[in-house]
A and B are shown apart, each in its own frame.
Chain A
Amino acid sequence: MQNEKKEWQAPVLEVLV
Chain B
Amino acid sequence: MTAITPIDANDVVTRKDGNLVSDMGGEKVMMSISSGKYYNLGSTGGRIWELIAEERTLNDLIETLASEYDIQAEQCREQVVAFLEHLSREGLIHISRGV
- State how many angstroms separate the Cβ of A4 from the closest Cβ of chain B: 9
Interface residues of B in 30-44 (CB under 8 A from A): 37-44
Is B44 a contact partner of A8 (Cβ separation < 8 A)? yes
Please tell me the size bucket of the interface on A.
Answer: 10 to 19
CA A12 to CA B28, docked complex, whole Å: 11
Which among A5, A7, A8 has the highest number of chain B CB atoms within 10 Å? A8
**A5-B68, A5-B69, A5-B70 known; A10+B44 contact, CB < 8 A:** yes
A8 to B: closest C-beta gap in Å: 4
**Complex CA–CA separation, A17 to B37 (angstroms):** 7
Which residues of B does A touch, CB under 8 Å?
Answer: 29, 37-45, 48, 67-71, 76, 79-80, 83, 86-87, 90
A sample of 7 more A-B contacts (CB under 8 A), given A8-B76, A11-B80, A14-B42, is: A5-B69, A7-B69, A10-B83, A13-B39, A15-B39, A16-B29, A16-B37
